[in-house]
Amino acid sequence: MSVLAPRRSTLPGFGLTMGLTLTWLSLIVLIPLAGLFVRSTDLSLAQFWDIVTSRRTLSALKISFGLSFAAACVNLVMGTIVVWALVRYRFPGRRLFDAIVDVPFALPTAVAGVALTALFAQKGWLGAPLAAMGIKVAFTPLGIFIAMIFIGIPFVVRTVQPVLIDLDPEIEEAAASLGASRWHIVTKVILPSLTPALLTGFALAFARAVGEYGSVIFIAGNLPNVSEIAPLLIVIRLSEFRYADATAIAVVMLVVAFVIIFAVNRLQRWAQSQAST
């Protein structure tokens, strides 16, 4: 630690707080996660590979990652529209909608799952009319997709909103006085300026959706290879007493999660360095 610390620094407490941080981080996060990796080494590489590439696992990962990706895409588009409406326009209930964006953050996932299922089941308020149109939502991959959209909304909105608010109005005016149409201003100036925030929001929504369990299992059909998400497969493997399988899937998901978060942090740093003028 003393290597990390400045030789002498004005502000006190580096050793203490850094020590506390690293200790606590190790106890709560690193050691338990390391345990996961150690457990996975019970498996030979070939075994690990077999588990991870078995059809069931691959399907579950594909469903989790694929639907999360799709949901994150929807959130990217709709989140941008929501942010635009909230930031740029005044309309009745704007403040209310602004506050309500955070509901998926704060609402327990199980409650969300139960509520979404009730809403989209064939007898539900939205499920019934959709069923009449021949669209089944609950207990299909579409249901998973809906739940993932639900939990992802605030990530996109909350990362993009401050950036759009802080966006210098002058760059739009500059573009206008250079002869750009509104369409050109939006697509060539505003959206590119929002790109780092959009990517960050997208990645966060994606990462959260991939790992999501509570709100999804109620509404997912949980059919193997069709609507079985990776976290559920872990739970199933556990109740089959197949710890190794559960661990192997968990390791894959963990690595991906780490990569995403690391990328997001780099992205934010980069955006900050771009912003510092």
Partner 1 sequence: MSIEMTLQRTPDGSARSLAESAARRDPRAEPAIVRVAIITLAIAFLSIFVVLPLVVVFVEAFGRGVVAYLSALADPEAWSAIRLTLGVAAVSVGTNLVFGLAAAWAITKFDFPGKTFLITLIDLPFSVSPVISGLVFVLLFGAQGFLGPWLQDHDLQILFAFPGIALATIFVTFPFVARALIPLMQEQGTQEEEAAISLGASGLQTFFRVTLPNIKWGVLYGVLLCNARAMGEFGAVSVVSGHIRGETNTMPLLVEILYNEYQMVASFAIASLLAMLALITLIAKTILERNIDGDMPHDD
Partner 2 sequence: MTIEARGVVKSFGAFKALDGVDLKVANGELLALLGPSGSGKTTLLRIIAGLEWPDAGEILFDGENALDRGARERHVGFVFQHYALFRHMNVFENVAFGLRVQPRRIRKTEAQIRARVKELLDLVQLDWLADRYPSQLSGGQRQRIALARALAIEPRILLLDEPFGALDAKVRKELRQWLRTLHHSINVTSIFVTHDQEEALEVAHRVVVMDKGRIEQVGSPSDVYDSPATAFVHGFIGESIMLPVEVTGGAVHLNGRPLDIAVEGGAAGASTLFVRRHDMLIGPADSGTLHGAVTHVRSFGPVQRAEIALTEGSTIEIDAPRDRELRIGDRVGLKPRHYRIFAGG
Partner 3 sequence: ADVSLLNVSYDPTRELYVEFNRAFAASYQKETGKSVEIKQSHGGSGAQARSVMDGLQADVVTLALAYDIDAIAGRGLLDKEWQKRLPQNAAPYTSTIVFLVRKGNPKGIKDWDDLLKSGVDVITPNPKTSGGARWNYLAAWGYQLKKTGSADKARQFVADLYKHVPVLDTGARGATVTFVERGVGDVLLAWENEAYLALKEFGKEKFEIISPSLSILAEPPVAVVDRVVAKKGTQAAAEAYLKYWYTKEGQEIAARNFYRPRDPDVAKSYADAFAKLDLFTIDDVFGGWTKAQKDHFGEGGIFDQIYKN
Least distance in angstroms from the C-beta of 54 to partner 1: 19
Question: Residues 76, 198, 212, 227: which binds partner 1 (CB under 8 A)?
Answer: 212
Least distance in angstroms from the C-beta of 236 to partner 3: 5
Q: Binding partner of residue 125 among partner 3, partner 2, partner 1, none, CB under 5 to 8 Å per kind?
A: partner 1
**DSSP states along the chain:** -TTTS-SS-SS--HHHHHHHHHHHHIIIIIHHHHHHHHHHTTS-HHHHHHHHHSHHHHHHHHHHHHHHHHHHHHHHHHHHHHHHHHHH---TTHHHHHHHTTHHHHS-HHHHHHHHHHHHSTTSTTHHHHHHTT---TTSHHHHHHHHHHHHHHHHHHHHHHHHHHS-HHHHHHHHHTT--HHHIIIIIIHHHHHHHHHHHHHHHHHHHHH--HHHHTTS---TTTT--HHHHHHHHHHTT-HHHHHHHHHHHHHHHHHHHHHHHHHHHHHHHHH--
Mask for 29-68, x = binds partner 1 (CB under 8 A): xxxxx-xx-xx-----------------------------
Site for partner 3 in 99-158 (CB under 8 A): 117, 121-123, 138-140
Measured CA to CA, the distance from residue 153 to residue 165 in angstroms comes to 18
Footprint on this chain of partner 2 (rule: CB under 8 A) = 7-8, 10, 168, 170-171, 173-181, 184, 188-189, 192-193, 195, 273-277
**How far from each other are the two terminal CA atoms of the chain, in whole angstroms?**
33
Q: Binding partner of residue 228 among partner 2, partner 3, partner 1, none, CB under 5 to 8 Å per kind?
A: partner 3
Question: Residues 156, 197, 230, 248: which binds partner 1 (CB under 8 A)?
Answer: 230
Question: Residues 14, 39, 56, 176: which binds partner 3 (CB under 8 A)?
Answer: 56
Looking at 46-54, 88-96, 132-140, 191-199, which segment touches partner 1 (CB under 8 A)? 88-96
Q: Binding partner of residue 101 among partner 3, partner 1, partner 2, none, CB under 5 to 8 Å per kind?
A: partner 1
Q: 89, 212, 98, 73: which is closest to 158 by C-alpha?
A: 98
Q: Binding partner of residue 7 among partner 1, partner 2, partner 3, none, CB under 5 to 8 Å per kind?
A: partner 2
Q: Binding partner of residue 242 among partner 2, partner 3, partner 1, none, CB under 5 to 8 Å per kind?
A: partner 3
Nearer to partner 1, 35 or 223 (CB): 35
Residues 6+ apart with CB under 8 A from 24: none
Question: Residues 77, 165, 171, 238: which binds partner 3 (CB under 8 A)?
Answer: 238
Q: Please classify residue 192 by burial: count the beta carbons closer than 10 Å to its beta carbon, then call 0-12 exposed, 13-18 middle and 19+ buried.
A: exposed
Least distance in angstroms from the C-beta of 127 to partner 3: 9
39 is a contact residue toward partner 3 (CB under 8 A): no
76 is a contact residue toward partner 1 (CB under 8 A): no
Find out whether 86 and 167 touch, Cβ atoms under 8 Å.
Answer: no
Q: Interface residues with partner 3 (CB under 8 A)?
A: 55-56, 117, 121-123, 138-140, 217, 221-225, 228, 232, 235-236, 238-242
